[in-house]
Amino acid sequence: MKTFMPNEADIKREWLVVDAADKPAGRLAVVIADALRGRDKPIYTPHIDVGAFVVVVNCEKIKLTGNKEDNKIYQDYTGYSSGRSETKAKDIREKNPERIITQAVKGMLPTNRQSRQILKRLKVYVGADHPHVAQQVKELALNF
């Protein structure tokens, strides 16, 4: 029996939509990362990108469990000495709520060139509307 290797003709990229309202950030990030990589498909191969596009709506309503709203810290570094800045999760939620989901999903992906390409297919939006209606997005099944 011959081993199947998917090529560009076998890859069918679909568009999936997820409503992040009242979903735990980490559990949602795992499901999104698996869909972006294509791990939910039978033709998944680690070195070939077979994943889908994922649209996340209502990112400002994502749930952080425990005391993460006050205790979780996001760090930025400019590259200069003493150029590190720390921001609490509640401030990130007010200023840039897309970052909570984007950074959680980025942490679930492997650190390589392929993950940087995969992350470009993640679309995160504040509110329930998104501009990808023409792509005939389907609902992503959440099993948690």
CATH of the domain at 111: 3.90.1180.10
Nearest Cα neighbor of 115 from 126, 105, 127 is 105
pTM of the entire structure? 0.93
Count of structural domains, the chain: 1
Range of the domain at 30: 15-64+98-139
Helix spans in the chain (H)? 25-37, 68-71, 89-95, 98-108, 113-119
CB 104 within 8 A of CB 26: yes
E strand or H helix that includes residue 122: strand 122-124
pLDDT, tens digit only, all 144 positions of the chain: 788 888 888 899 999 999 999 999 999 999 999 999 999 999 999 999 999 999 999 999 999 999 999 999 999 999 999 999 999 999 999 999 999 999 999 999 999 999 999 999 999 999 999 999 999 999 999 988
Is residue 76 one of the residues assigned to a domain?
A: no
Is residue 124 one of the residues assigned to a domain?
A: yes
Is residue 112 one of the residues assigned to a domain?
A: yes
User: What confidence score (pLDDT) does residue 144 get?
Assistant: 80
Is residue 108 one of the residues assigned to a domain?
A: yes
Most distant CA pair in the chain, distance: 59
